[in-house]
A and B are shown apart, each in its own frame.
Chain A
């Protein structure tokens, strides 16, 4: 592989995404999926959450999580299509669709967060 190949970069995004998702998503799921709805913890009200999401650091963390997790998915799905479905002949199309979807999703996440 040439030294200019993007593979190391997309792998770093994949790797970082896996790590970020594994650390943060379970916490968010337990809090917002179980602890708040079931009343284990007092649920924050809407204004409180909106203020929290409005903080630049929260926005940055949430954007990082969304973008990295999407690139993690893109990389994994690309190789699932390559090896699992044996579609490596269509690799250019697969690369464009997978990483394109991750880019579009990240842009969407950025837009939602900026509007919050």
Chain B
């Protein structure tokens, strides 16, 4: 058995979050999420948390495990033996109940970077051809599962909630770097704003926390260079020669 210390907050019942301890079986193939499912099924049906796929794709089971933002389906109990394992909601987000956080801030910011292909000119009738090298340019950034671990890890987002944030900027870059996309100029006002890439101070915790190897910090620094060069061009070149 291993002890799981789970943060509970039941609106209307608790004035502040409290910690509740549960003993769950320590099995080598059990993730933290399996422990929570055991608690929910066997010990306490009132525990609330989000999960879906159990395989690191859906991005819904992000939690703070022993102080670090983690996907609870990809974090194994045996790695924390003999315990206890502290399970808290994702930091930097308002808590709705227990381990469930309010993600509406991220959901509002995400569409602002227009994370979809914006194509000028005609769309080819068949496939949109792309070389492997062109795909390598953005593929890493396309692995984002919107789990928000990067927002939870980001100290800038903690201080400045208006910061567009790691995942949203990395997703903007994912489309900017796509050879099929012509939307960089449309995304620029949001990405290159004070609350966009320029708010990032390159702490790098987002890339450490990312469970999919997206490297949002790297994406943001690359974008800063792009934005800085465009700003210099705006400053130095006549109107017609910009872009």
Contacts and interface: CB of A to CB of B under 8 A. Distances in A.
Given A1-B192, A79-B201, A12 B228 contact: yes
B101 interface: no
B159 interface: yes
A68 to B, nearest CB: 15
Contacts of B193: 1
A1 B198 contact: yes
A86 interface: yes
A5 interface: yes
A55 interface: no
A15 B234 CA distance: 19
A3 B201 contact: no
Contact of A7 (B159, B198, B225, B234): B198
A11 B234 contact: no
A50 to B, nearest CB: 37
A9 interface: yes
Contacts of A7: 194, 198
A8 B155 contact: no
Given A1-B192, A5-B194, A83 B159 contact: yes
A12 B198 contact: no
A40 B233 CA distance: 47
A78 to B, nearest CB: 10
Interface residues of B, number: 16
Interface in B192-209: 192-194, 196, 198, 201
Contacts of A12: 228, 232
A9 B192 CA distance: 13
B234 A3 contact: yes
A83 B228 contact: no
Interface string A1-34: 1010101110110010000000000000000000
Contacts of A8: 192, 198, 224, 227-228, 231-232
A5 B195 CA distance: 13
Contacts of B231: 3, 5, 8-9
A1 B194 CA distance: 5
A5 B194 CA distance: 9
Nearest to A5: B194
B156 interface: yes
B155 A11 contact: no
Contacts of A11: 198, 224, 228
A5 B193 CA distance: 10
Contacts of B228: 8-9, 11-12, 15
Interface string A82-111: 010010000000000000000000000000
Max chain B C-beta neighbours (<10 A), residue from A8, A11, A79, A83:
A8
Interface of B: 155-156, 159, 192-194, 196, 198, 201, 224-225, 227-228, 231-232, 234
Give the top 5 A-B pairs by smallest Cβ distance, nearest first: A8-B231, A8-B228, A1-B194, A79-B201, A1-B193
Interface of A: 1, 3, 5, 7-9, 11-12, 15, 79, 83, 86
11 contacts: A1-B196, A1-B198, A5-B198, A8-B192, A8-B232, A9-B232, A11-B224, A11-B228, A12-B232, A15-B228, A83-B155
